[in-house]
Structure 1
């Protein structure tokens, strides 16, 4: 079975690194994530009054990567460096995803009285983001399980 029971998961808590190092990792990761988001928005700007596809894709992609990160670091404990989750999860992916811009986009669509687009954007973003976290986690578990079976299955005894 690929899923761990809740009592088998590590206890949540603060990283074992010192607080200044954690804050530095979050800040550095946040700067990188925000730059990546900004680059995407510059490269693929949204059409005035249209569906904000770039912000949608950024948020859904970031959520999928959060699902991957949580499986690799929390469930499977594959990467145990104390600064990895703060750097990648809170920093890079927190800076990359932009639910404040999502809210501002929805507000702008409503102000311009583009109700169908606003409602579609609100609903699809929430559903797609949650589905992306789930899918990222499921796919990562399967890939890790397949890799574990492949390593054992390929061995022969004399």
Structure 2
């Protein structure tokens, strides 16, 4: 059990560092797009990768490290929800609904595509 905890935690650290790096790279896009592009990109690519990870019959240690750990640290549901609330509060309700729908439906669709790859 301790091994799985260490694998999940170390994977989460790797995923969070990847997310942090991508968010920094995307900073010049802030304000140029109506949607939070960096978070959308991270969550959609994370969905695709998670679908790919889930369909491979990997040993439990690898599932925990890659799926729970890296993808859990990389993707960010809480940031997405926060951005939806902020868009809505700033009178961009249509953009907020579009972002939420694109995130959820896009994520589900890309997870399915990932399972087919």
Q: Please report the TM-score for the alignment, with normalisation by the length of structure 1.
A: 0.70
Provide the residue aligned with 2:45 in structure 1.
61
The answer as to 2:78 corresponding to 1:100 is yes
Correspondence 1:5-154 to 2 at 5 A? 19-45=1-27, 46-48=29-31, 50-73=34-57, 79-80=58-59, 82-139=60-117
Higher RCO (C-alpha under 8 Å, 6+ residues apart): 2
> In the TM superposition, what is the alpha-carbon distance from 1:124 to its structure 2 partner?
0.7
The number of residues matched between the two structures is 115
Counterpart Cα distance in 1 of 2:52 and 2:20: 23
Gaps of at least 5 residues in structure 1 are: 1-18, 74-78, 140-158
Q: Secondary structure at the match of 2:91?
A: coil
The CA deviation string for residues 1-47 of structure 1, in whole angstroms up to 9 with x for no partner, is: xxxxxxxxxxxxxxxxxx11100000000000001001110110252
Distance 1:99 1:113 in 2: 22
1:37-79 alpha-carbon deviations (Å, 9 max, x no partner): 0111011025248210110010010011111011112xxxxx3
127-136 or 49-58, which deviates more: 49-58
Could you tell me how far apart the structure 1 residues matched to 2:48 and 2:114 are?
5
Cα RMSD of the aligned pairs, angstroms, is 1.2
Residues of 2 paired with 1:138 and 1:90: CA distance? 20
